[in-house]
Every structure is written in C-alpha cells, then in structure tokens.
Structure 1
Amino acid sequence: MSDWIILATALTGFDHAATKHKVLATRDYLARPDLFRGARPNIINLSRSYSYQSRGYYASLLAAARGQRVIPSVETIIDLSARKLYENSIPELEDVLNKGFGKSEEPAPARLKIYFGTSTDPRFERFGRQLFDWFRAPVVEVAIKDGKWRSISRISLLPVAKLTGADRDAFFEAMAIYTGRQWRDAKSRTPARYSIATLMDANEAMPPSSVETLRHWARIAARMGVAVEPIGRKDLARLANFDALFIRETTSISNHTYRFARRAQQEGMPVIDDPVSMIRCTNKVYLDELMAANGVPVPQTIMVIGVEDLQRAADTLGFPMVLKIPDSSFSRGVSKVKNMEELRKLAGAWLADSDVLIAQKYMPTSFDWRIGVLGGKPLFAVQYLMAKQHWQIVKHDTGGKPLEGGFRTFSLAETPPRVLDTGLRAARCIGDGLYGVDLKETEDGVFVIEVNDNPNLEHGVEDSAEKDEVWTRLTNWFIERIDS
C-alpha cells in the first residue's frame, strides 16, 4: 500500500492520472476507521470543503485521532478560519513578502496561490516556505493589498476543486515533488510552559524594539520553554490568556500602553513596564525630585511654573540652558535655549500646554551613557553618540526622518564603576523592572539625566557586548516572577 493517501470528496471527477498515489473518497475514510489499522499512511486531504463540521474537517480531525499524519491538520484548518486566529503571523509574513519584491515597483498580485510551500513565481519562493512553516496545507491563497508596503488582507485554505488550467497543473506538479520527499513535520518547538504577550506596533516610527529584534528574542525564549506572542492595541480583552506582558511600544500614561500595564497588574501578571514605573519615569519633574531625595546626582534644575520663574532660572543656570516638557521622550520636547529671548519665547509656547516645565544646567558631552538595569542588576552598557552637528543623540527637526548618532557598546566589566553604580542607584529608586538610565559623565562627576521605563533593546546594539545573555536574563526575569 502506498505511503501516501489522497482524500477526495468524490472519486468521480477526480483526475486520477494526475497522481500515482491511492485516492480514497473522504466518506469511505471516515466510515472505515480500521482501514489502515497497523499502518501509518500520510494523508493529503483534498476535500472540497474544510468548513467546520464538514467531511473535510472531520477527515483531518479523525486522522489525528487515528495517529495518522495529515495535511492540512485540523489545527491549520481552525487557524485559517478567521483572521483573528492567524493575525499574529502576518507581520513576519508581510516582511518576507515585501523582501520578495526587492526594489521592484511592479504591482503585487491580488491573489497569490501557494502549493505545498511553493510558488510558480520565483520571487515568492521564500515567502511560500515561510507560509508553509506556519500553515501546512496543500493550497493556501493569500489576498494582497498593493501599495508601497504590500499588506496581507486575508489568508485562506483553497480547495483543489477550485483550481483550473495552469493552476491545477502547477498544484499536481508541486504535490508530486512534495510527496517525493520524506514527510517533514512543521518545525518542532519546545512545548511552552509560559506565554508572554508582547505589545507592539509594527508601524511605530521609533519603537523601543524592532520586529526583527523581537523575533530574535522569541527564538531564544522558545528554547527556554517560553512562547513570545505579539499583540496590538486592540487585544486588551485577550491579555488574560497570557502569563506575562512585555510592552514594546513607546509608553505614555495617556494612551493604551498604560491601560495594558494596569490590566496586567490587575490580573497578577508580571509586566514590563509596570504602571508605577510608567508614572514615575514619564515625568521629569517627579524624577528630578526623586533622585535628589535619594542622593542621586542630577544636573542643577529649576522648576518653571510660570513666566515669573524664568529670570530665576536664567540667574541660577546661566545660558545656554536646557528646557524640558515633563513627559517628553526620544529627545522631543527638549530644547536648548541660548538667551533670555529664546527662553521666554519657548517657555511661553510650552506653558500653554503644560502647567510645569523644568530648566536644567546645560552639560555638553559627545555622548550619553545608557545603563540598562533589570531587576536591580546591570543588563547592558552603551554610549549613544550625539547626532551630527547636534547636541542631542536624536535630531528631530530635519524635515524628514529623525537623525540619530552612532553608538558604542561596552561589556559590563569594562564600564566605569562610577557610571554603573550611579545607574543602578537611580534605577532602584524606581522599581524592580527594566530601565534605561541616561547619564552624563563629566569632570565634575556622573549625573543622571533621566530614567526610561521603556528603554531601547535592539539586537545588534544594546546586546552587542553581552550578546544573548541579555535576552536570557530578560526571559528568566519573567519566568522567576511567574513561578513565584
């Protein structure tokens, strides 16, 4: 008996000459559970419908119960039954799809058919393999929305009965090649003990971690028995299905990131960033007073509550000075003013939106230290260089994409002890989570500029010195707290 069995809804009308394998009616397969007793054939289910509770659905369901390998599996059928069930695969698949086009501006096909992980268009060979790794099925049809970024609007199983002409020929050719190889299951994954939801926005201009970085972490976490699953702002209702939450969007107490952090805390889930850390870190007025109260050195600071405080700031700090909006991030809402005229003009504009500003002594350096701290211990050390011809590490007023300076990553062992110590003291004032402490190293000492509750973690940047130890420790932080 052939190692491969093809299931068809009806034997009449099926092109038996197109395959050398035995073809069996789906009804007969369902009705005769003892037909392959003692054997373990490989089943290819080509039923006309895979809808829930159809014969095609039950064929895949019972094949699994009978210990037989089947494609598509019932899990794949269910996964592709609704977008909400497969949407987590879309960012990765879209990335590979767009790479297939390269720099070509040729319109994307409205429908792309993938046969056993292969495409008749060589541009989509890698995409087909990636899709097949996610969803093992004879035919998968992908609906594509064209544009500068080709997006996937739908992924669905396509019954072979709907194929005609060249498409049908391509399918049977792909099946012959596939069945000519040894059966290969989907990539084996270590059964996950825990799952971590990772809140992200693939469209964010300056995210704290890129999609590629999060995939790198996911691979490491998977080896440790932890599944990392991306979620979006619309997935708040699903949060309770996970064991922990890692927020990888720019945080703000006025948007959905804070709501996610609060919900995770209410569910008793370990979360980075936790809501208390978000409140403490997103406000520079609070940070300045907290650091000062704990003896952590910060630049000389004057709180500006109204225009009447501007002269005191000028007399105390001199010019140039730095003016900040309390909840600014990524160097936005932070400006250097060179004289009283500039100070009055900028403060007047910003005070219209914020009741409080802070003015700080200007400390020129060619770089800022960033000490990453996790669970009260140092995680990484990096120097962010100032953007070209600018006094900050990010220059926003370029008329286009923000301009960033370079970086130099240091091992923790080679980082100056006083820099590490000051960073740790600052982070411990905030909490036990993940923080990025920005510091100025000057002749007068090391000063904390701010503590970030949502620090950048980019593969190839912050982890350049400590390598995968960064991601292993991050995963262990979650495991330890879930276990406890």
Structure 2
Amino acid sequence: MAEHILLVEQAADWKPGFPRLPVVTAREYLGGGDAFSSKRRLRVVNLCRSYRYLSVGYYCSLLAEARGHKVVPSVRTLQELSSRGIYGLITEELNQRVQRLLGRRRGAAMPTAYALILFFGQSASRELQPLAREIFETFRCPALRVELKQADAGGHWRITAIKPLTLDGFTAEQEPEFLAALEWYLSQRWRQPRARLHSRYDLAILHDPQEELPPSNGRALRRFQQAGKGLGVNVELIQRKDYGRLAEYDALLIRETTRIGHHTFRFAHKAESEGMVVIDDPGSILRCTNKVFLAELLDAHQVPRPRTLILRRETLLDAEQAIGYPVVLKIPEGSFSRGVFKAGDRAELKRIAQRLFRESDLILAQEYLYTAFDWRIGILGRRPLYASKYFMSRDHWQIVRHEADGKRDEGGFETVPVEQAPADVVRVALRAANLIGDGLYGVDVKATERGAVVIEVNDNPNLDAGIEDRVLGEGLYQAIIGEMVARLEQRRTGRRQGEP
C-alpha cells in the first residue's frame, strides 16, 4: 500500500488536537533529497499556507512531481486556480450542473449569491454534494471556496470564483469538517482523469509576428504549412487574438515562446481540454519551464548534470562549499540565456542572489562548466530528430550575450546528422527528454571530460529554417506534422495516448 505524508509550512500549523498522521514541514521536504526521492509510491497532500506561483507551497508540489510522488494539489491544478482566465475556461460544464441544482430555487427570500466550502470534494450541503464532487474531480485541491452567483434576472447561476483555502486559515468550526474529509480521502484510491478524443485534420500554429526571439522564423512557418499540404493537413497560422477559434482545429503546434501565466499556456490547456493533439502540451510546459523542477527530476533519476543546488535565502552560502567559484546562478524561469548569471566570489553571489530572491523563493546554483559550444539534441516522440551545435558568443560564456542597452550578440551554429553526434550526448538527451513526456523537446547537453551532462530540457525548442533543418531540410517539418497526424489517427481508431 502506498505511503502518504502531509506537508505543512510550519510545524505549528498541525495543532496538538489534530489526528496523529505523518506530517512533514515544507523545509524538511524541500531539503530532504534522498530521504524522499527514493520513495516512489509516496502520496503527498500539500497543506502549505500559500500556493502562489514560486512560493514554498508551489515548490513543494513541483518537487513532489519531479520525485515521482502523487501530490494534491498538482502544479497544473495550482496553475489552473491561479487565474480566472484559466479556470473560467474549464467551468462551463460545471455551470450546467450549478444551474440544474440552484436554478429551480425560487422566491424573494432566496439569495442571489452562495459560497460553497469544499474539503476534498465534501460539502456540508447534501443538495450540492454532486456539484462538490465534480468540482473536486476537476480541481483536485484539499480545500476550496467556490463562489456561485445568479448571473441575470432569469435566474441563471454561474461559478464566479474558485479560491484555494489553506490550513492556517480555517475557522474552529471548519477544522473538524476538514479533518474528517482528510481521513476519508486518505483511505481512497488515487486516480487520474481520462483524456477526451477528437478526430479531424486541421492544424493551427500559434505564433507572434512581433516576437523578438521566436522559436521559429518566418521561413520555417511556411515550411510547416508546405509539409502539411503534403500530408493532407490544413495548416493555418494563428495568433493570440484567435483564442476563441481554437476549437475549430484538431491539433495545435505552439511556435511562440511558452511561459507559465501566459496566453501560450492558456492555449495549450484549452487545446488539451478540447481533446486536441497539442505540442507543447501543458504538462511539458509546466515541467520544462521551471529549472528547479528539472534539477530535481534529473537528480531523482540520476541523469548526469553539473553539480547543482536548490537554494533558499538561508542556505545561500552552501553554494561555496558544495560547488565553489565561479558558480552559475539561475532564476527558475528564463530563456535565451536570460536570468542566468555567473558569480566569481561571495560578494557577487550575495548581490546576484538578492535580486533573484525578489522573484522566487528558490533559486538554482550550478557548477560552471565552460565548453566552446553546447549540443542541442531535438527529440520528438521519444526519438532523436536533429543535432545542432550552438557556439558561445564572442568573448562570453553564454550562447547569447544580452547587453545593458538591449542589444544582443549570438554565437554561431552547426547542424550535423544525429548519428554523427557523440553517442553519449544523444543517449543522455533521450534519458532526460523521456522523463518529461513524448512531445517535442530540445535538450541542451555539454560534452565534458567526465562525459555528457544535461544543462536543461526545452519544451519549445528553436526550429529555424537554415539552422536546425540544415540536415533534414523539409523532412524536419514533415516529421513533426507527421507525428501529429499519427496521433490523430490513433485517436480516430479509438486508441488513447497517455492514459494511466
């Protein structure tokens, strides 16, 4: 039987009168390393004080997933609940049940607004229990406040807000209800929802013509369209303003730099919820965008990488002993060499870290390994697709040098047949990408004296005409569109991908 633990931000949050259950502080879990990562069947209930993006509570769920633990709430749930713009996309079907349950109520004395408190999908209202269970199946969070409102004079009810509640904020009356629901929940089997299916052949490519450093240039986008014609797929370029039309398509390929809390993630999430084939899928965006998650994931599966530490403010100087100088400091999110800094001594370490800790409760410290170039191995559907060398910019230690005036200097490139890339580089890239999923990834690898080491996995790798397609030519674009067609065909014949 799977073991479970409860995560709290402060030991005092689990009060003396509460049941004797396995409670672990967030600090113990985040710093526990092997003590927790070796437990593959661990079930984690995250009861931290805040699930805010990049908070300690957020990182607890993030690292739980990296360690292979089953956690509630998941990072995806936290992201969905972080914005009405995201969870509003998901509540349309729930609103139909709200209307069925509350719409029949009549009378001048009836309220026009209602707050539903849920603990693990349990509600004090027997009448609203079916709705409570459905909300929890959609947003698996320990405690939720769901605000319902009569939207118009015709008596139509809707969900207007869904907010996580936290253990430290419960009233004395709510605590017994929560504890009873918790004990019930821990006795249940945890499961995953099934995917929905779709079956047509129109593909949308999301891009931004104004993006400064897009993942695909204009010529590459046109080649995607040409490849689609050859495979019987209608490929259209769409932009952010086309969100309302997304359901018209059967597949979505994102060729705009992805970020959490950004419309690219909303597009990915909406596409997946509509049963579309989507690259980059929201799970891959969540996993790849945060370098702390990647560091823990690679460590848990013993994938070679530079010596790496996850730092909090109080453990900053651990980087001196464990890594030494120079040391590379990274903000959890960043692309194109942004948010990555090198500290040569303690003064620089403190100065850089002070700035990074304003954005995130955790940052990354990594061993400095200089190489003249980084390998980028493109992976598609768990198979290597292309191999490129990205050279460091002149007199600099990164591929892209960002100047204070906004200008940038980029190094050169060379693309070679995959079979000509070092075998250990390709092998370690595949190991890393397969931990993320079966989508399209670009794995950055350094070939060092001690062997190949993974720097990071990108969910939205560059595919530029004249660079990554130097070897495969049109075949690069055909392979990607062809993979999406194959997935559409699999769904059409009734086989599901990614089911638990």
Q: TM-score, normalised by structure 2?
A: 0.57
Deviation, structure 1 residue 467: 1.9
Structure with the bigger RCO (C-alpha within 8 Å, sep 6+) is 2
Match of 1:258 in 2: 265
CA–CA separation in structure 2 for the residues paired with 1:195 and 1:353 = 40
CA–CA separation in structure 2 for the residues paired with 1:323 and 1:453 = 21
CA–CA separation in structure 1 for the residues paired with 2:393 and 2:202 = 38
Bigger mean CA offset, 389-398 vs 340-349: 389-398
CA–CA separation in structure 2 for the residues paired with 1:438 and 1:471 = 21
Q: Partner of 1:279: helix, strand, or coil?
A: helix
What is the aligned counterpart of 1:347 among 353, 371, 385? Answer: 353
- Read off the aligned partner of 1:355 and give its amino acid letter: D
CA–CA separation in structure 2 for the residues paired with 1:236 and 1:273 = 16
Match of 1:241 in 2: 248
Matched-pair contact (CA < 8 Å) for 2:443–2:454:
yes
**Percentage identity across paired residues of the two chains:** 50
Match of 1:465 in 2: 471
Residues 233-382 of structure 1: matches in 2 within 5 Å?
233-306=240-313, 308-382=314-388
Matched-pair contact (CA < 8 Å) for 2:223–2:474:
no
Match of 2:108 in 1: none
Q: Partner of 2:257: helix, strand, or coil?
A: coil
Deviations 1:430-471 (A, max 9, x none): 001000000111001111000000000011101101222211
CA–CA separation in structure 1 for the residues paired with 2:242 and 2:349 = 43
Deviation, structure 1 residue 395: 0.6
Residues 56-455 of structure 1: matches in 2 within 5 Å?
194-306=201-313, 308-397=314-403, 399-455=405-461
Deviation, structure 1 residue 350: 1.2
CA–CA separation in structure 2 for the residues paired with 1:423 and 1:468 = 24
Deviations 1:58-105 (A, max 9, x none): xxxxxxxxxxxxxxxxxxxxxxxxxxxxxxxxxxxxxxxxxxxxxxxx
CA–CA separation in structure 2 for the residues paired with 1:469 and 1:211 = 17
Deviation, structure 1 residue 292: 1.2
Gaps of 5+ in 1: 1-192
- Read off the aligned partner of 1:300 and give its amino acid letter: R
Match of 2:10 in 1: none
Larger radius of gyration, structure 1 or 2?
1
CA–CA separation in structure 1 for the residues paired with 2:408 and 2:489 = 42
Deviations 1:144-168 (A, max 9, x none): xxxxxxxxxxxxxxxxxxxxxxxxx
Deviation, structure 1 residue 400: 3.8
Match of 2:79 in 1: none
Q: Partner of 1:372: helix, strand, or coil?
A: strand
Deviation, structure 1 residue 415: 1.1
Match of 1:43 in 2: none
Q: Partner of 1:235: helix, strand, or coil?
A: helix
Deviation, structure 1 residue 227: 1.6
Q: How many residue pairs are counted as aligned between the two chains? A: 291
Gaps of 5+ in 2: 1-199, 491-500
Q: TM-score, normalised by structure 1?
A: 0.59
Deviations 1:355-396 (A, max 9, x none): 110100000100000000000000100000001111000011
Deviation, structure 1 residue 216: 1.6
Q: Partner of 2:472: helix, strand, or coil?
A: coil
Deviation, structure 1 residue 476: 0.8
CA–CA separation in structure 1 for the residues paired with 2:439 and 2:353 = 34
- Read off the aligned partner of 1:197 and give its amino acid letter: A
CA–CA separation in structure 2 for the residues paired with 1:361 and 1:277 = 25
